[in-house]
Amino acid sequence: MADRLNILVVGGGGREHALSWKLAQSPRAARVFCAPGNAGIAQHAECVPISPSDLEALADFAQQHEIGLTVVGPEAPLAEGIVDLFRARGLQIFGPSRAAARIESSKVWCKRLLAKCGVPTGDFAVFDDPDEAISYLDDREPPIVVKADGLAAGKGVTVARTREEARQAVQAAMVDRAFGEAGSRVVIEEFLAGREVSVMAICDGENLYPLPFSQDHKQVYDDDRGPNTGGMGAFSPVPFITPDLAEQALETIMRPTLRAMAEEGAPYVGCLYGGLMLTEEGLKALEFNCRFGDPESQAVLPRLEADLVDLLEAAVSGRLPAEPPQEGRAAVCVVMASGGYPGKYETGRPIRGLDAAARMSDVVVFHAGTRRTEQGIVTAGGRVLGVTGLGDDLPAAIAAAYRGVEAISFDGAHYRRDIGRRKGG
């Protein structure tokens, strides 16, 4: 066995719990730390009170504790250059450089890259003047997609069903500055209809290693109703993704994007997340993210049979294995959210039933917004828990996930009851 490593996970949500949980299973993991972590992550890692935005403090910690591998969860520190800082200090870190993270931190940069390298995507136009953007809308048929250029905590995308709604989205981003500087430019895109799928690939700059495909549920209510959220649940595998379609996604979208980034002088090392749409014209790219998805990771990582430490270290050192392993059993993650999310919500509500869920076979509970108090574990965010069920097929995984959900309660708890059951994929 190769050397054992001290590992640092950066972040404190459900994705980081899934990462910490998976990394801690590796025989190569000596000590696992998480900054700042949460009440659930503390079961698998030593939580340290450092903000993901305090890059210098994170690098200092990594040096002081002889961290052999740092894994970054959220997009903001990647966009701020945490990888560049760590590499400059001789520290091994999994994630894209600041230049490569532009695939998420600038929607404009991403869309222009896709157009340049011929990756199929929706038609688009870029505006830095609100009047010109609003004038352009007069010639577009709804629905219309309006995206703030920069990072907006997952809230910068509007799928407008009317021109008036699209005008309001432009006004909010560019005039009212609802997203700060992130909305100083907008991308107005063609709406792509079809079936959505997410693919996360581990990349070493030249090659990619695809993880199991998954599908997210963005709307807050059943049957895809209500406002968009950070994600109310995910499942894997995706029944309509045949082996041929999976290969098409890699050959026409993921690998050309990876090659184009290298040609732009921003080789991509890290997890490249592609949000794809299967349209009547074939697969097209909706968006790219520069990190593991949330809650997709909570459905995908439990299915991964490879040693995650080996895999991420291989990516950092440019020696990814050629063939991905066999996928494990099906997985479904159901997010339990605070009442009112994605709008205003209260925190500090005691969570009951966590021990009962933990004793269930085929159930794993990932904490997203929790903290430990003298009274026990309480809610501390909009998305509180991701309850993942495993099974030999999707129906069995769905049943396991909802068994876990039904064992847990807190005041105001809200969750979708149709995760994995979407009609037509």
- List helix spans (H) across 107-249: 107-117, 130-137, 163-170, 243-249
> pLDDT tens for residues 69-127?
999 999 999 999 999 999 999 999 999 999 999 999 999 999 999 999 999 999 999 99
pTM of the predicted model as reported, rounded to 2 decimal places: 0.95
Count Cβ atoms below 10 Å from residue 61 Cβ, excluding itself.
Answer: 17
Contact 403, 360 (CB under 8 A): yes
Express each pLDDT in 203-249 by its tens digit. 999 999 999 999 999 999 999 998 888 899 999 999 999 999 999 99
DSSP 234: E
Contact 48, 36 (CB under 8 A): yes
Instruction: Quickly count: other Cβ atoms within 10 Å of residue 133's Cβ.
Output: 24
Low-confidence ranges of the chain (pLDDT < 50): 423-425
**Residues near 36 by Cβ (< 8 Å), separated by ≥ 6?**
12, 47, 48, 49, 50, 51, 52
- How far the first Cα of the chain sits from its last, in Å, is 42
* Type of residue at 272: L
- Spatial CB neighbours of 384, under 8 Å, sequence gap ≥ 6: 335, 336, 337, 338, 351, 367, 368, 369, 370, 410, 413
Query: Could you tell me which residues are beta bridge partners of residue 187?
Result: 126, 147
Quote the pLDDT of residue 424: 43
Domains of the chain by start residue, with CATH: 5-98 (3.40.50.20), 129-184 (3.30.1490.20), 195-407 (3.30.470.20)
Share of the chain above pLDDT 70, in %: 99
